[in-house]
Structure 1
């Protein structure tokens, strides 16, 4: 029968071998994923669920430019977040007229 020390030594050797095999398999999996991403035109942003910014549906010319370059035509409907923040801060939206 094996001793505790012998079994621990064998366990460490097996864990080292298992880690080496894992690294080899991981490299193969990563290569496969990269090839498929290239084949299908997938980006990291696609994997993270990030999409391209939505295009504005408005055809009206912008009348206001926000503090970070955001544009707004001033039309009816819900005001953009930056406009609401400007108004809540007690500023006039006219300060941002183009």
Structure 2
């Protein structure tokens, strides 16, 4: 069985190998990217200029509100649990209309 000192030495050696491999692979990746950029005539500006902007979505107006809790529903999609429970207890959908 290995001693703690031996295990710590192995760990240090592995940490060193990990760092060296990480640096080598990173350097290889950078060289590969530079090669591709050179091959296709790309610059750093080309990489960031083609990003599409996010599409703005409009919010849907609230159609139903639970007066007790302030929870709301737009009327789209599945009915929320609070509304299903209220309707199941005898309330009408129109009771929550805004």
Calculate the TM-score normalised by the size of structure 1.
0.46
